[in-house]
Structures are given as C-alpha cells and as structure tokens.
Amino acid sequence: MNDDRVVSGGMRILLVGAGGVGDAIAKIAARRSFYELIVVSDFDESRAERTIAAIAARHGEESAQRFRAEQIDASDPYAVESLVREHRISHVMNAVEPKFVPTIFAGALAAGANYLDMAMSLSEPHPTDPHRQTGVKLGDDQFAQAPDWQKLGQLALVGMGVEPGLSDVFARYASDHLFSEIDELGTRDGANLVVRDDEGNEMFAPSFSIWTTIEECLNPPVIWQKDEGWFTTPPFSEPEVFVFPEGIGPVECVNVEHEEVLLMPRWLDAKRVTFKYGLGAEFIGVLKTLHLLGLDSTLPLRVRGADAAGVAGPVEVAPRDVVAAALPDPASIGPRMSGKTCAGVWVTGTGLDGEPREVYLYHVSDNEWTMREYDAQCVVWQTAMNPVIALELLATGVWKGSGVLGPEAFDAAPFLELMARPLDEGGYDQPWGLDERTPTRAG
C-alpha cells in the first residue's frame, strides 16, 4: 500500500473498547497513516494489549508504536475525560455497548474532543402504547445536546458503523445521484453465515454483541412515514423475503428497531424509511424465549453466589449480562464461521429520468477474506471499516462539521470513492455494489 497518498496528520484517537469491533478498528487503522496516535482502551487492559500485540506481530514493532494500551471504565465520564486530556486526544471512538454512550459522550464533550460512535443512545418504549407510539427514541438524548456541541465547535458523528453508517452513506448517495424523488429508503441486512462446533455441527453463536442484538430486536421497531412521522410496530413485524446479491440469495427479513430510521429523515427527503434484518426463525425463537423468561432484562437481580473472595452470599447481576457471558464472544467465532454478510439500502422512487426506479446499494463482506487479511470475523470487520474511513475523511478535511450529525449530513461520494479505491492507490479496496431491480411500485 502506498501510504504517501494518505495525508499524515496530528489526529489522536481514543478507542474505547477492544472487543470484536474495537479490535478490528485498530487492525484496519494499522494500515493507515492519517493519525499520530491511537490509545486502545478497555475495562480489561489485557484485551487492549492483545490487540496491539497482534498489530506488532503482523506489521512490526514500528507500526505498533503508534498504539498505546490503557485501562478505562466507560461508565465513568470523568475517566473518559481524564484519558482524553492525558493523551491530548482529538477524537474519541466509541466501540462499546450503547449503554455506555451517555458517559463517553459526556466525557468527550467535557474534554474538548470530537466523538464518533456506531450505536446511539438507547430508546425507551412508550409507557402505555409501545407498539404504535414512540417513547424516547434512539439518539434523542444525543440530539438534545446538539447545541452544546455546536456552541463549542465540536463534532459528534453518530451512527457511523455499517448499519447505521455505511447504510446512511448509501442513502445520501442515492438521494444526491440516483433519484429525483424517493418513495422508500429501506435498509436490508442479510447473510448466509454458519458457525460450527468442533464436531462440525451448526451452533447458536450470534455474530454481533448479543447485548446489542437483544436491545435492537425486542424493542418496538420504528418506522418513518412523511405524513405520520415516527411510529412503532410489534417486534418482528411485516416479514418479507428479500433477495441478497453475491450468492447469499433469499432471506426472510423483519422490522427491527435501528438508528437509520431515526437518522435518515433528519437530512434526506423520503416518503418512508424502514429497517429490516434477516434474523431467521431459530434466532427469532431464541429471542422470544429470552423475553418470555425475562432474560433480556437489564435490571439487576439478587441471586445466590459468591464475592471475589469466594465468600458465599447474594450478588446482583443483570440477566442480559448473564446471557452475554454464556454465549461465545463474537470476536472469537471467526475460525468457526463461514459465509458472507451483506449490508445495504433498498431504494424505490423516481429516477433522474422521471421513470420509476428500484435499486439496492450494498457491500458484502466474506468471512474467509476478513479472517485471512485481518484475523477478524466478517460482521465485526465490516462494522469497523466504516468509522476508520470516516476518521480518515475528517483527518484530511474532506468531511467537516460541528454539532451532532449523522453520516447523511456529509457528502457520500468521497467516502465511497475512498472505500472502493485499491489499496496500492491509498484506498480500502472494498468495492460496493449497485443492483438495479425491476420497479415493483411506482410513486
């Protein structure tokens, strides 16, 4: 790769979280030269150290010298603020569960740093009518603080993963370059991934954080319609079979709560915005059972146990944390996984020629390739690539802004160009697809 084509700058990044996505962010960034320092931090500092050791083993000690490991308590805004000040951080990259968004967000603002995340502040269902009306929506708490960020000239770029993130970039591109009028922006996510145990049998092992997956899938999904605004439906509503490209094929997708629906209408003109995820019957069944048993709850329960010294007695534990601890770490299942995952946006409406148009803009990530090139399974790698591209565009001044902004607020063309450009020309060598489809509805 020709690093000379990437502008070297003084960006100093605090990466909060060295789990699957955080680890992949660091590994992708190790091949780039747009930053001066990345502080990899985690509650378990050994995980941060392991990430840096992997970078040193693959790229050499000189590359690893741009990384530093630190311990952090992401639930403490003062801990975030302290590390930002200590290391003169310019950008905080949040790569932990969305329950930590408020504290990391606050710590970055207080310390004068810019901020990026891949999942926004959590929602709260409507207290009396959760399957028709919204309560507190995803990101509401962050957008409420937008004047503070704007006043200080700091940027909070929210929802900058793959979904949300790349999907929002695709939506902006479609709005700018492909359509004169948009009927629906429909994020559609599907895969043909299989995880097998040592005997070769398929096993239940979510490819992304089960904590986040439960939050997304069991909350009432949100839909946007121009004449109604935001409203909700029951979980797993409106199933449809969507045909995904590059050999994945037809997958049944259902409505799921997701940030795109809360982000896209703020910047893009569309009659309808939806998000549907290909979960599969088995996964939906597991999620319904967890909910039936109360194992999706985040409220701590007192259970029999022992403290750190081994003294018997009641301890408090959240059921959802127990579920997360019982399942394989998504970062560890790559060697057992095969197949591809696809993220994209299905857009219907009127093309620039005035005729009905239907397209699917997408990116496919192959697990065999991501494991070989980055030692990261494809779902976390695909998520991690996008904030690194965004950070590079911010470092080089191609993207600029202040306040609380989603990916739709920025020009999509430079992002997609950099993403698709070959490695030896300073890009990320990740082509994206545009699948023209026969319009199924007009206007």
In the chain, where the domains are located = 11-161+379-429, 166-370
Encoding tokens for residue 218?
């069991």
Claim: this prediction has a pTM higher than 0.85 = yes
- Assigned CATH topology for domain 166-370: Dihydrodipicolinate Reductase; domain 2 (3.30.360)
> 316-344: buried (b, 16+ CB within 10 Å) or exposed (e) per residue?
eebbbeebbeebbebbebbebbbbbbbbb
242, 276 Cβ separation under 8 angstroms: yes
Pick the CATH number of 11-161+379-429 from 3.40.50.720, 1.20.1260.10, 3.40.50.1820, 3.40.50.300: 3.40.50.720
Encoding tokens for residue 319?
């059921």
Q: Which helix (H) or strand (E) holds 292?
A: helix 281-292
pLDDT at 284: 81
- The DSSP secondary-structure symbol of 7 reads P
pLDDT at 2: 31
For the purposes of burial, counting CB atoms within 10 Å of the CB of 281, is it exposed (0-12), middle (13-18) or buried (19 or more)?
exposed
C-alpha to C-alpha distances, 205 to 189, 336, 411, nearest whole angstrom: 18, 10, 37
For the purposes of burial, counting CB atoms within 10 Å of the CB of 62, is it exposed (0-12), middle (13-18) or buried (19 or more)?
exposed
Encoding tokens for residue 415?
């992002």
Reply yes or no: is the peptide bond before residue 206 cis, omega within 30 of 0: no
pLDDT at 443: 41
pLDDT at 212: 77
Q: For residue 168, which of 276, 260, 275 has the smallest C-alpha distance? A: 260
Please indicate whether the domains covering 11-161+379-429 and 166-370 agree at the CATH topology level.
Answer: no
Rounded Cα distance between 146 and 156, Å, is: 8
Q: For residue 261, which of 208, 218, 228, 225 has the smallest C-alpha distance? A: 225
pLDDT at 297: 85
pLDDT at 259: 97
Give the CA dihedral 231, 235, 238, 240, nearest 10 degrees. Answer: 130
Q: For residue 138, which of 159, 116, 122 has the smallest C-alpha distance? A: 122
Q: Name residues of the chain where pLDDT drops below 50.
A: 1-9, 442-443
pLDDT at 328: 76
pLDDT at 1: 30
